[in-house]
Amino acid sequence: MIVIRRNGKNEGFWLRNSEKFVQYLQSLGVPENWQIVDVYGLDPDILSAVPQPVIAVLLLFPTSDKYEEHKNKQEEELKKAGDAMPENVYYLKQVVSNACGTIALIHSVANNTDKIDLKDGDLKKFLHETLSLNPEERGAKLLDSAGIINTHKEVAQEGQTEAPDCNDPVNYHFVAFVNKDGQLFELDGRKSCPINHGKTSDATLLQDAAKVCREFMERDPEELHFTVVALTSSA
């Protein structure tokens, strides 16, 4: 159980198994020293207990009307500003409904290959083959990546009678936050491009991402279910 605290109170929880994330990443070639750990709150004292270094933060949140309204408004603003796709950020579009967890993990690893010594396997092959593609082409290519998709299904099915279908409707969504060249990027496969939230660093990524996570919660105060996890190294 992952509990998110706001203003010192327990305001909600959402059940997820971070061990499944670790199992999935290792199956795709991520070394064992990299772990997904629960972030039990966003207050500074709780964040200080999260093992460092943190190279990515993942947020699970409800896809409510408030999220859709903010997303649409943000897309219009980006369109007017004419923001170009940052060349240094690996980003892929989500083309099926029930793949946001996989995409958030891919975003987390793909933008940290300078830190993660990725082993030969399906993920390394996918990243190599899609490096020169645009986000839409990468999303479509993911559908053809049987190794990544089947591994996801196998891990998801453990302990269940049936694995979820990739097109099943879902009410929750994953996004990832990474530091790329000193900038905090929100990577949401449902948006048109990465969202730049300003300056960050390897040392402050967790704290800076936590501020944006709080904004998600403040935009949707009636929703209680938010989950935060971090990709960190045990070595």
Catalytic residues: 100, 173
8-state DSSP, 99 = G
> What proportions of the chain, in percent to the nearest 5, are helix, strand and coil?
40, 20, 40
CA diameter of the chain: 48
Q: How far is CA 235 from the centre of its chain?
A: 22
Spatial strand order in the sheet of 195-199: 34-38, 227-233, 54-62, 172-180, 183-187, 195-199
Question: Which three-class secondary structure state does DSSP give residue 86?
Answer: coil
Place of tokens 């972030």: 39
Question: Which three-class secondary structure state does DSSP give residue 130?
Answer: helix
- Angstrom distance (rounded) from CA 162 to CA 157: 6
